[in-house]
Chains A and B, each alone.
Chain A
Amino acid sequence: GQQVMQIPQYQHVQEGEDFTTYCNSSTTLSNIQWYKQRPGGHPVFLIQLVKSGEVKKQKRLTFQFGEAKKNSSLHITATQTTDVGTYFCAGPGSGGSNYKLTFGKGTLLTVNP
């Protein structure tokens, strides 16, 4: 079945440092979504990327979708303590299963103030 892998599993940074998490799928994806889950909270949608090579920015967050549509990355510039949480990527199934999102294990980001 489809597999979505994320690295690193954990990342600890000093406030102000940059952070990047990487997501790789075993299959070509029609789109990829990113979610953020704060400690003790629930996953909250951040963004969806659809086009090959797409780059989208949300303030200090930059999301990329690979040319082959099998990988993606999330980069945070100048981290803040409010960025703490687990970042998940998720890809839909293929064909008639595109409603079914497969989530990666996530990258837990902690920020030292």
Chain B
Amino acid sequence: GAGVSQSPRYKVTKRGQDVALRCDPISGHVSLYWYRQALGQGPEFLTYFNYEAQQDKSGLPNDRFSAERPEGSISTLTIQRTEQRDSAMYRCASSPRNRANTGELFFGEGSRLTVL
């Protein structure tokens, strides 16, 4: 497809379970971001990849959160031992620009995570 694709769109899980959220960016986009958006709030930065290198993970809330982009394309955000406070919309975004030049972000539709 032409846009950023995320799956699953909705995920309901029980507390303590692990979840993996997938992002397929626009083909050829160098930069990939994960953001988290709470209801009524703006997107909050989690982590940034330049090609396959994770260059900034300062926004990940704790060590239960991890992300990878092994081949510089598809990325997975993994949350281990989920807690209710992890419930949110997780958004992936990509950009054709590298880290030296900010430019528009193309956001996916997001993955809505609900932890019971």
Where the two chains meet, the residues of A that have a C-beta atom closer than 8 Å to any C-beta of B are 4, 30-31, 33, 41-45, 48, 88, 90, 92, 96-106, 108
Contacts and interface: CB of A to CB of B under 8 A. Distances in A.
B107 A97 contact: no
A21 B98 CA distance: 30
Interface centre among A30, A92, A101, A104 (most CB of B within 10 A): A101
B61 interface: no
B2 to A, nearest CB: 14
A45 B56 contact: no
Interface stretch (B12-20, B39-47, B64-72): B39-47
Contacts, number: 61
B45 A43 contact: no
A70 B107 CA distance: 25
10 contacts: A4-B42, A42-B110, A45-B106, A99-B31, A99-B56, A99-B98, A100-B56, A105-B42, A106-B40, A108-B40
Nearest to A30: B102
B107 A99 contact: no
Given A42-B109, A103-B44, A98 B104 contact: no
Nearest to B4: A42
B43 A99 contact: no
B102 A31 contact: yes
B116 interface: no
A99 B44 contact: no
A30 B42 CA distance: 20
A88 B42 contact: yes
Contact of A102 (B45, B56, B100): B45
Interface in B79-116: 91, 98-110
A108 B109 CA distance: 19
Contacts of B50: 99
Nearest to B91: A42
